Structure 1
């Protein structure tokens, strides 16, 4: 994987480098061609593009009058403006006219001297000259126009076209080879620097996929945001894993407890059933009734546990269909409180009930809402004892609010986050409590199935306040 990523970056860098080199070469050739033309443009305000063109076009200013050759006054003005001079020669190479000629310039030229003067800058004139001719009255006159060598310069180059082409081709290959090697070197170094963090990121993702959530990377460089997200993901996965382990432990403990809670009454049922069915025992009617009542109670207890499991599963999987109807919540909550107070086991508990008004209606499933209130009230009793004071209130604001407040032991902060979890049993549960551990989870699921919310606040040695909003 490392070499794959690095290789891709190297190829991209090399391709870009080669394209840039080719564009530079072509652009350089075009630029030099244009520049060479523009550098010799010496004419201001006319159509001439070079000194050669200027010289050839200057013949229109040459005039011959009565065997006298001279230039028009406009030509003189142009020469002044261009800081140039002119020398006119006859067919023998003798000077017949000059304007602005330097003092040391010759008055007679042989053909070879003209060629040398054209090719090289003479120390006498320090000028770069250009030569042209014009026929005046059947006589060909040559004329030389000189420009300051500081302004116009000429280098004469001789070359073999065939050898030059081969040399340029070889040089181009060498340049491309060297540039490619350089591009490969810098591309490799660049790619290594760029891809090394990517390899680390890939390894981090692999570690996360394998369950190693203890990652902490320095959040810096061009991958700062990626490192931040990896650290954040690692933290969340670690937290979720710890939570999962806690739930797994709670589930194991719950299965152990529920198995014990089912096994204990089953032992009683089995034992008393064996007594009643045995021929070795001669039970009186009172004993039969007593043993039958015990079997009934234990069977009911087992049935309640199984019902809790069934209801919890249906609520969790959201397959429970609510039987909604418009109901007076005040009357429903009041009936639950009365039923608890009429129960011989909880008749000594102090429960105060109040409502803001006698009729507060909502579309609810009465059986399930009754189950919620019952679960919460019994939790308040079994976790605090019969001496606890419980206040139950029903209020109508924007929604219906049901408050169940006790002054009991309270709930530890670390346990407060788990009271609505399945399989959870509080550490302060009384000995006579044999619940399934699903009561509060069932209550929360029922309220949420009604699109409501349930909130809890608690403080140790002060009490607990539970608010149901429908």
Structure 2
């Protein structure tokens, strides 16, 4: 973890330093090019550059009687630029002057001419420029504080040496600054990454802990990581619950198998040891028990096989067009013809004449019978079971019932099985469809304990929906939507 942390830090530091160095070098090159261009081309325009004005002033100079004279336009230019002009012959003597100050000398030696040009000999505000017109030299003095002249004397070798030293110093300073800034930036940038890596390590170790969400570019990443942690924690708990259910299921299966096996084994041993002493009535009773327990084991194994195949979608359904109304009506008649339930109160009500669906008749019959049998077996004998069929239309987000069927309309068939029996406690509602669930308010041990789970899986295999509501001591209602 620490090696990864420093690796990320070094990578960001290297990136930042490289960028800063490149930018510094490019900026230096651009600065040198700019200075070179300024030296080669005067940035001031002809209208505002005092030096250009002085050099080109000869265009306003004319000769009269072999003496230089400034025309009217030139005089206006001098006044506009707050300048004066002094003409000299080849001996350094003044031959003409315009707007010159009173203390200006009229004769110059060569040294004085150079001094006049290089330095501000008149006053601190006047800069003197030199020009030539009609074989006469002239001084142009511009009185402007913003204008100045600097004369530099330098040795090329020393200049390049100093420039190299300055560039090296500049590079060292830039690198130091880049390292400091890069370290701070890299530390700030890599700290969330290190926290993120630690979070991933926790997920790998199945420790699902939420991380604090930092502000900035990593905010979405940390939010997604926390959501992932919550999901994985939820899946882990569900898996533990499923593992526990599986263990309980296996334990229940083992227990349910052991009970009939023990009974079969005991009666078989009894018949074997006392075969000559048993009366025909006892022999018939023992063989009946063995047969009943064997049938129970067969039913249990068949139910286990069916529920597993339904859950894993490995059971091919034999679909055929069936009128659900007639189908359930026949089932109700069949139930009432059964001697065990002939005197029970089972009501059938159809609010629709015909409802065609593609179903597996055998499996759907088993599912609906399971729901009806549960209502009859787990309640008192005076319980009333009502079976009702409706058409449900979804219009405007509300369910509406109708007995007028239009074959062109899309509808759902709703099968409701309701009783007024004991009901199911609220704490047991979520477990009703679990394997081997038997409610706490029932004393019946009829069946294998897989009936409700199988019935629910059959409805889901038909792409249907099932809902169960129950109020204790008031009854239970099962709604199937096809």
Could you say whether these structures have the same fold, taking a TM-score greater than 0.5 normalized by the shorter chain as the test? Answer: yes
**Alignment map for 1:296-375 (pairs within 5 Å):** 296-343=291-338, 346=341, 349-375=344-370
**Alignment map for 1:406-425 (pairs within 5 Å):** 406-421=419-434, 423-425=435-437
Give 1:290 shift. Answer: 2.8
Equivalence for 2:193? 198
Kept in 1: contact 2:414–2:481 (CA 8 A): yes
- Establish whether residue 22 from structure 1 lines up as the match of residue 25 from structure 2: yes
C-alpha distance in 2 between matches for 1:18 and 1:195: 22
Give 1:87 shift. Answer: 0.8
Worse-superposed segment, 336-345 or 349-358: 336-345
Alignment: residue pair count: 460
Equivalence for 1:95? 94
Q: TM-score, normalised by structure 2?
A: 0.87
Give 1:117 shift. Answer: 1.1
Equivalence for 1:62? 61
- Establish whether residue 268 from structure 1 lines up as the match of residue 263 from structure 2: yes
Equivalence for 2:13? 10
Equivalence for 1:154? 149
* CA shift in 2, pair 1:454/1:130, >3 Å: same
- Establish whether residue 439 from structure 1 lines up as the match of residue 438 from structure 2: no
Kept in 2: contact 1:17–1:183 (CA 8 A): yes
> What SS does structure 2 have at the residue aligned with 1:417?
helix
> What SS does structure 1 have at the residue aligned with 2:431?
coil
- Establish whether residue 235 from structure 1 lines up as the match of residue 217 from structure 2: no
Show structure 2 runs of 5+ residues with no match.
393-410
Kept in 1: contact 2:424–2:441 (CA 8 A): no
Give 1:33 shift. Answer: 5.1
Give 1:467 shift. Answer: 0.9
Equivalence for 1:119? 118
- Establish whether residue 78 from structure 1 lines up as the match of residue 44 from structure 2: no
Equivalence for 2:391? 396
C-alpha distance in 2 between matches for 1:412 and 1:167: 95
Kept in 1: contact 2:422–2:441 (CA 8 A): no
**Alignment map for 1:167-316 (pairs within 5 Å):** 167-213=162-208, 215-222=209-216, 223-278=218-273, 280-316=275-311
Q: TM-score, normalised by structure 1?
A: 0.89
* CA shift in 2, pair 1:154/1:293, >3 Å: same
Report the RMSD for the aligned CA atoms in angstroms. 2.6
Give 1:393 shift. Answer: 1.2
Kept in 1: contact 2:421–2:473 (CA 8 A): yes
C-alpha distance in 2 between matches for 1:232 and 1:431: 45
> What SS does structure 2 have at the residue aligned with 1:303?
helix
1:206-245 CA-to-partner distances (Å, cap 9, x unmatched) read 11121112x1333341233333323322222222222222
Show structure 1 runs of 5+ residues with no match.
none
Give 1:276 shift. Answer: 4.2
Equivalence for 1:451? 463
Kept in 2: contact 1:10–1:191 (CA 8 A): yes
C-alpha distance in 1 between matches for 2:46 and 2:225: 69
C-alpha distance in 2 between matches for 1:156 and 1:420: 102
Kept in 2: contact 1:105–1:125 (CA 8 A): no
Give 1:112 shift. Answer: 0.7
> What SS does structure 2 have at the residue aligned with 1:250?
helix
* CA shift in 2, pair 1:283/1:336, >3 Å: farther
Kept in 1: contact 2:252–2:436 (CA 8 A): no
* CA shift in 2, pair 1:162/1:461, >3 Å: farther
Worse-superposed segment, 340-349 or 257-266: 340-349
